[in-house]
Amino acid sequence: MSNTTFYYGVMSSSKTASLLMTAYNYQKKGTKYLIIKPSTDNRSGEDIVSSRIGLSAKADYVVGSNVGRDLLAVRIMVENTHSEVILIDECQFLDKYLIKYLCEYATENNIVLMAYGLLRNFQGKLFEGSQAWVENVDAMREIKTVCEKCNRKATFNVRFVDGKPVFDGKEVVIGDEDYHVFCHEHQLELRNNA
């Protein structure tokens, strides 16, 4: 079994719902776990992990911008709670050095680490954090959903501003009301018509 796994998908593919269902299953089994999220994701509140289908849970730790402090805090929490599992939501926003250290820590201590997030930004480029997950995890699993225009697999997030697709601008804008998911063909069609 893999110690470290990166679960990735486009927006609306139920990544957070999958994390919360996994947490529930561990809880039911009596397995101790920690839920971690980045401070970048504040849609539902600073320390709340929430899915679009209504599931939510309080994060045990919110990662900030101090890699050393965050790693130490997670290690102390794992040791104090005897957690066997670390679940991370919106993992693409974590620092690449923290990701590397977390993967090494999980492997060295036989802790299951499951990170859930986006692979690519709205420009189709890997998030820096996602690249670090790809480089450091034992396994990757895609969480799939369908294109908004057809029944093919959605592979791209497209940002809309004033009802029009945009392909340039700030990498991170929190909120899902301005994003839509498309297969490559329909993303390319939107890009060519923009």
pLDDT tens per residue, range 110-137? 999 999 999 999 999 999 999 999 999 9
The pLDDT of residue 1 is above 70: no
- Mean pLDDT to the nearest integer, 157-186: 83
Q: CATH code for 4-142?
A: 3.40.50.300
Each residue's pLDDT tens digit, 55-72: 999 999 999 988 889 989
Among 99-103, 150-154, 175-179, the range scoring the smallest mean pLDDT is 175-179
Query: Can you give the residue ranges of every domain in the chain?
Result: 4-142, 156-193
For residue 141 the two structure tokens come to: 């699993």
pTM: predicted TM-score of the whole model, two decimal places: 0.92
Select which of 46, 79, 90, 177 is catalytic: 90
Q: Is 185 a catalytic residue?
A: no
